[in-house]
Amino acid sequence: MNMKAVLLAPTPPPVGGIAKWTERMMNAELKNGWQVSVVDEKLISNREVFGDHVKRSLPTEIKRCFRIWKNLKRELKDPEAKVVHSCIPSATLSMLREYVCACITKNRKRKFIIHFRCTVPNTAKGRAAGFMLKRLCNKSDMIILLNGQSVDYLKNMTDTPVALIPNFIDDTEICAEHTTAPEIKTALYIGGVIKTKGCADIVDVARAFPNINFRLVGRADDEIIAYADGLKNVVFTGVKEKSELQEEMKNADVFMFLSYFPGEGFSNALAEAMAAGLPCIVTDWAANADMIENEKGGLVVSVRAPNAASKALEKMSDPQFRKQCSDFNIRKVREMYSEKYVVSQYVDCYEKLI
């Protein structure tokens, strides 16, 4: 008999965040004959993760929850479904919904894994969140986390086993080498173009470097577009397809990721930039510093510190340093964030539980 993991996670569109991970898991080859099926937790009625439509409508969210619970019950009728693997940020209402999912799973004698796709202490704030976090962790059979900050936060809260597992990159996305230009001509950012992703700070850096083009790829908030008004070296490209993103990274010289987004855990965009061989300037936030390792794959600066980011960009002007960072990032992704390496760890968790 084959064995199956049921993923509680959103699917694209839009592509990004947890949905991107879900898409990769659906296409991944799992060892020992494991397969995955998905109970789609996609937002409904035009609600967005960030942007102009982030507010919840209670009736809509109740409808969404009942749809998820119904579909989970249907998936668990399959005797091959052995594990439910739930992927959420540690927001109060999300944890409440997944607590019900955990009860459904445990009542049907299956194992339940909660996979927090965030930095837990940054999102589980307040008494209600703390209460739900502890209840959900204790109800789960295993917890998967994305960074050391989350591990440290939870280790004294629950006796449920914890695994630290990063996001992963498709092997085909890992380049052999990135061409290092003598001078920095293009600095790149990919993701939601919003303030808490550090995009206003990137615009501030652009003011100090008029000879460098700063390309911000993704859906842009009007606030950021207005903030960059008059800067000819800041380009908002809008959303791009996968092949176009790869071309953007190929043509860039530096990747800037100055995020302090509360939901950040382990950035897919940063991992993809590393896989493309881009030297990176990142904030000391979520898993960023763990990924880059200051002075190895790039430079780590404080959050909300555009002056520090500007100084880091000056240091990046040394092509030899950028080349060293580029080679380090490609090697690290291949060794630690590749699909085969990471997905194998998920299967190890499944098999340990059953």
The answer for residues whose C-beta is within 8 angstroms of residue 28's C-beta and 6 or more apart is 36, 168, 339, 343
Q: How high is the mean pLDDT of the chain?
A: 94
Nearest-angstrom CA–CA distance, 76 and 78: 5
Task: Give 256's strand partners.
Answer: 281
Determine the pLDDT at residue 55.
61
291-344 per-position pLDDT tens digit = 999 999 999 999 999 999 999 999 999 999 999 999 999 999 999 999 999 999
> Which residues fall within 8 angstroms of residue 115, CB to CB, at 6 or more apart?
85, 86, 87, 88, 143, 144, 145
The reported pLDDT for the residue numbered 47 is: 47
Q: For residue 295, what are the CA distances in angstroms to 217, 279, 285, 292, 328?
A: 26, 10, 16, 8, 10
Residue 1: predicted pLDDT: 63
Whether the CB-CB separation of 255 and 280 falls below 8 Å is answered with: yes
Q: Is 155 left (phi over 0), alpha (psi -120 to 50) or beta?
A: alpha
pLDDT tens digits for range 195-215: 999 999 999 999 999 999 999
Predicted TM-score of the model (pTM): 0.91
Per-residue pLDDT in tens (0 to 9) along the chain, 354 residues: 689 999 999 999 876 789 999 999 999 999 999 999 999 999 775 545 545 445 668 889 999 999 999 999 999 999 999 999 999 999 999 999 999 999 999 999 999 999 999 999 999 999 999 999 999 999 999 999 999 999 999 998 999 999 999 999 999 999 999 999 999 999 999 999 999 999 999 999 999 999 999 999 999 999 999 999 999 999 999 999 989 999 999 999 999 999 999 989 999 999 999 999 999 999 999 999 999 999 999 999 999 999 999 999 999 999 999 999 999 999 999 999 999 999 999 999 999 999
Q: Which amino acid makes up residue 129?
A: A
pLDDT at site 53: 46
